[in-house]
Amino acid sequence: APLGIPPLHLLVDPRRAARGRRDVEMVLAKPAGDPVVDHRPHKGDRAAFETELIRTIDAAEPDILCLAGFMRILTEGFTGHYAGRMLNIHPSLLPKYRGLHTHARAIEAGDTVAGCTVHEVTAELDGGPILGQARVPVRPDDTPETLAARVLTQEHRLYPEALRRFALGDRTRFDLPTG
Ligand code: NHR
């Protein structure tokens, strides 16, 4: 591990995995084909889905969980189980635009700056402590898609840096320099 951090084990994105998108499963220390938890058989029962998710994740004994594109709202049973060791990257400058459709909302509001945030996941949706942010300009001709692509390049810079700091025990907030 280049940063002196043990490799990540697995992250389960049931929605995309169910579509056959193995690339977003982020299986780093285990071969592809690991068990993936599908939320759909648990329709209407988040607790049952999360119980299965916890069993799957805990088998890998992870130190830190990193959500990336994880689209199911988590109950406090789950967030409590992983309290203090679960991160998420969200495509807005929190506390602006919690929830979905962040780029469309930033454009609609006339914002000239947008970006992304890595935060700790708590029971409060997109409301946990902010660890780091990165900014991008919003161009006058941006669509949600062109803005999303610009923000994504910063997500790829921000998340490793936020994880590096967090794994070293540094929870002070930082801004990624532009460039
Ligand atoms: N759960 C908790 N408790 N706290 C957070 O901070 C969470 C969370 C679950 C996911 C990621 C978040 C994002 O980065 C995240 C943070 C999905 C929804 C949502 O509305 C909201 C926020 C995020 C992810 N999900 C719908 C649901 O009913 C489903 C939407 C869909 O399938 O398209 O779970 O944006």
pLDDT at 136 over 90: yes
Please name the helix (run of DSSP H) or strand (run of DSSP E) that holds residue 79, with its range, or none: helix 76-81
* Residue 96: per-residue pLDDT: 98
CA of 165 to the centre of ligand 1 (A): 24
pLDDT in tens, 27-61: 333 344 444 677 778 888 989 989 988 988 887 77
Q: What is the mean pLDDT of residues 147-176?
A: 94
Residues acting as catalytic residues:
90
* 2 CA distance to ligand 1 middle (Å): 31
Q: Is 166 exposed, middle or buried (0-12, 13-18, 19+ CB in 10 A)?
A: buried
Q: Average model confidence (pLDDT) for the chain? A: 83
Cβ count within 10 A of residue 10: 19
- Separation of CA 157 and ligand 1 centre (Å): 22
CA distance 148 to 66: 20
Check residue 134 and give its pLDDT.
Answer: 98
Q: 74 CB less than 6 Å from ligand 1?
A: yes
Determine the distance separating the centroid of ligand 1 and the alpha carbon of 176, expressed in angstroms: 24
Q: Is 80 in the pocket of ligand 1 (CB under 6 A)?
A: no
Query: What atom of ligand 1 comes closest to residue 122's alpha carbon?
Result: 4
Whether ligand 1 lies within 6 angstroms of the CB of 123 is answered as yes
Establish whether residue 68 lines the binding site of ligand 1, counting it when its CB lies within 6 angstroms of any ligand atom. no
The pTM (predicted TM-score) of the whole model is: 0.85
Contact status, residue 52 vs residue 42, Cβ threshold 8 Å: yes
Asked whether 73 lines ligand 1 (CB < 6 A), one says yes
